[in-house]
Amino acid sequence: MEKRVALELRGRNPSQVKDLNLDNCRSTNIIGLTDEYTNLEILSLNNVGLTTLKGFPNLPKLRKLELSDNRISNGLNFLSGCKKLTHLNLSGNKIKDLETLKPLEVFQNLKNLDLFNNEVTCIEDYRNKVFGLHSSLLYLDGFDKKDREADDSDGEEEDGDEMNGNNDSDAEEDVDDLALDLGPLVIDDSSESPAEGSTSLPMILYTVYGLLFHMGLLLKSKHR
């Protein structure tokens, strides 16, 4: 794991990293991750082979932690330094009882918890008991208290806003380019004859026609 962490840094300072993916980098314990990752928000450790979380660093800004398909059976108290955690995926581990989940009570912002494919899910009235342990919890194993599937619309709206922002920028650039192309065209209605330095009407029409023709070719090329 230590080598993979160094590789993912790509020469950056740990405090600059916000998203770190260490999936499949085989290790039974946490090595190479330190408290220096002060701005880390998303950490993925899926299918690593972890048997313990001992040594897990304090990550004050961590919001999303992926720990699926490991061999974790206890020790969730080692995550206590991640106070802002909202999403925790522990699916496919070795958690057997509710007592193991009690350390998660310290996460007052925890909204999404995934324990799918753990033995604890076989406990009678499991869902109600887990929701009872964590008052902030909205979704357990992908469903809310009323068995309604988790809604991803918030994330989609955010992505949509980013896409719209990019499209707006492109449109503004196109308008600016067109303005530059039409900039030299001046129509002076104050006199019957063209003023010196201005462009005659036939020339204006010819130029506009040329621009429209050029834009038509561009549109055709994009649709091919």
- pLDDT profile of the chain (224 residues), mean per 10: 92 96 96 96 98 97 98 98 97 97 94 98 96 93 93 47 43 45 46 48 63 60 50
126 and 104 share a domain? yes
Between β-strands 64-66 and 139-140, what pairing exists: parallel, antiparallel or unpaired? Answer: unpaired
CATH number of the domain where residue 57 is located: 3.80.10.10
31 and 128 share a domain? yes
215 and 107 share a domain? no
- Contact yes or no for 61/41 (Cβ under 8 A): yes
12 and 122 share a domain? yes
Domain total in the chain: 2
Continuous H helices in the chain:
2-9, 126-133, 153-182, 201-223
Q: Which domain holds residue 194?
A: 154-223
105 and 136 share a domain? yes
User: For residue 149, what are the β-bridge partners?
Assistant: 143
42 and 112 share a domain? yes
- Contact yes or no for 25/1 (Cβ under 8 A): yes
Q: Quick: pLDDT tens for 89-138.
A: 999 999 999 999 999 999 999 999 999 999 999 999 999 999 998 889 99
Q: What is the pLDDT of residue 134?
A: 86
- Distance between CA atoms of 81 and 91, rounded to whole angstroms? 21
12 and 118 share a domain? yes
Question: Of the residues 117, 151, 185, which one is the last residue of a structural domain?
Answer: 151
139 and 168 share a domain? no
Count of alpha carbons within 13 angstroms of residue 34, beta-carbon side: 9
Measure Cα distances from 215 to 53, 91, 174, 178 in Å. 59, 53, 11, 10
Phi, psi of 121 (to 5 degrees): -70, -10
Question: Of the residues 93, 123, 151, which one is the last residue of a structural domain?
Answer: 151
43 and 89 share a domain? yes
